[in-house]
Structure 1
Amino acid sequence: VHLLLKDLTLCIHYNCIVGKSSTSPKPAIFMDCGIHAREWISPAFCQWFVNEAVTTYGSDSAMTTLLNSMDVYVLPVFNIDGYVYTHTSDRMWRKTRSRNSGSSCIGTDPNRNFDAGWCTIGASSNPCSETFCGSTAESEIESKNVANFIRDNKSTIKAYLTVHSYSQLLLFPYSYTFDLAADHSELLTVAKGASAALTSLHGTRYTSGPGAATIYPAAGGSDDWAYDLGIKYSYTFELRDTGYYGFLLPESQIQPTCEETMLAVNYIAAHVLKNLY
Structure 2
Amino acid sequence: MVPLASAHHHGEHFEGEKVFRVSVGDENDVKLIHELASTNQIDFWKPDSVTQIKPHSSVDFRVKAEDTVTVEDFLDQNELQHEVLIHNLRNVLEAQFDSQVRATGHSYEKYNKWETIEAWIEQVTADNPELISRQTIGTTFEGRTMHLLKVGKAGSDKPAIFMDCGFHAREWISPAFCQWFVREAVRTYGQEIHMTELLDKLDFYVLPVVNIDGYVYTWTKNRMWRKTRSTQSGTSCVGTDPNRNFDAGWCEIGASRSPCDETYCGSAAESEKETKALADFIRSNLSSIKAYLTIHSYSQMMLYPYSYDYKLPANNVELNALAKATVKELASLHGTKYTYGPGATTIYPAAGGSDDWAYDQGIKYSFTFELRDKGRYGFALPESQIRATCEETLLAIKHIASYVLEHLY
Q: TM-score range by the shorter chain?
A: over 0.9
Could you tell me which residue of structure 2 aligns to residue 167 of structure 1?
299
Amino acid at match of 1:18: V
- What RMSD over aligned residues (CA atoms) do the two structures have, in Å? 1.5
* Higher strand content, 1 or 2: 2
Amino acid at match of 2:184: E
Could you tell me which residue of structure 2 aligns to residue 42 of structure 1?
174
Q: Is residue 4–residue 54 contact of structure 1 (8 Å, CA) maintained in 2?
A: no
Amino acid at match of 2:326: A
Amino acid at match of 2:373: D
Q: What is the 5 A alignment of 1:182-197?
A: 182-197=314-329
1:63 and 2:195 aligned: yes
SS at match of 1:268: helix
Q: Which 5+ residue runs of structure 2 have no aligned equivalent?
A: 1-123, 136-144
1:93 and 2:225 aligned: yes
SS at match of 1:16: strand
Could you tell me which residue of structure 2 aligns to residue 151 of structure 1?
283
The one of 137, 143, 153 equivalent to 1:20 is 153
TM-score (norm 1): 0.96
The alpha-carbon distance between structure 1 residues 15 and 209, as it changes in their structure 2 partners (threshold 3 A), is: same
Amino acid at match of 1:214: T
Could you tell me which residue of structure 2 aligns to residue 207 of structure 1?
339
The one of 244, 251, 266 equivalent to 1:119 is 251
Could you tell me which residue of structure 2 aligns to residue 180 of structure 1?
312
Could you tell me which residue of structure 1 aligns to residue 51 of structure 2?
none
The alpha-carbon distance between structure 1 residues 5 and 233, as it changes in their structure 2 partners (threshold 3 A), is: farther
* In structure 1, C-alpha distance between the alignment counterparts of 2:125 and 2:231, rounded to whole Å: 37
* In structure 2, C-alpha distance between the alignment counterparts of 1:208 and 1:227, rounded to whole Å: 17
Kindly provide the CA deviation profile for residues 168-192 of structure 1, in whole angstroms up to 9, marking residues without a partner as x.
0000000000111111000010011
Could you tell me which residue of structure 2 aligns to residue 135 of structure 1?
267
Kindly provide the CA deviation profile for residues 190-217 of structure 1, in whole angstroms up to 9, marking residues without a partner as x.
0111100000000000001000000000
SS at match of 2:252: coil
Deviating runs (4+, > 4 A) in structure 1? 10-13
Amino acid at match of 1:85: Y
SS at match of 1:37: coil
Aligned length: 273
* In structure 1, C-alpha distance between the alignment counterparts of 2:317 and 2:190, rounded to whole Å: 34
1:252 and 2:409 aligned: no
Could you tell me which residue of structure 2 aligns to residue 243 of structure 1?
375
* In structure 2, C-alpha distance between the alignment counterparts of 1:5 and 1:266, rounded to whole Å: 24
| Offset, 1:13 | 4.2
| Offset, 1:25 | 1.7
* In structure 1, C-alpha distance between the alignment counterparts of 2:388 and 2:266, rounded to whole Å: 36
Q: Is residue 170–residue 195 contact of structure 1 (8 Å, CA) maintained in 2?
A: yes
Could you tell me which residue of structure 2 aligns to residue 76 of structure 1?
208
| Offset, 1:62 | 0.4
Q: Is residue 100–residue 127 contact of structure 1 (8 Å, CA) maintained in 2?
A: no
Amino acid at match of 1:249: L
* In structure 1, C-alpha distance between the alignment counterparts of 2:236 and 2:127, rounded to whole Å: 42
**Relative contact order: is structure 1 or structure 2 higher (C-alpha 8 Å, sep ≥ 6)?**
1
* In structure 1, C-alpha distance between the alignment counterparts of 2:283 and 2:329, rounded to whole Å: 31
Amino acid at match of 1:266: K
* In structure 2, C-alpha distance between the alignment counterparts of 1:15 and 1:47, rounded to whole Å: 12
* In structure 2, C-alpha distance between the alignment counterparts of 1:4 and 1:79, rounded to whole Å: 21
| Offset, 1:6 | 3.6
The alpha-carbon distance between structure 1 residues 27 and 180, as it changes in their structure 2 partners (threshold 3 A), is: same
The alpha-carbon distance between structure 1 residues 5 and 167, as it changes in their structure 2 partners (threshold 3 A), is: farther
TM-score (norm 2): 0.65
SS at match of 1:253: helix
* In structure 2, C-alpha distance between the alignment counterparts of 1:35 and 1:25, rounded to whole Å: 29
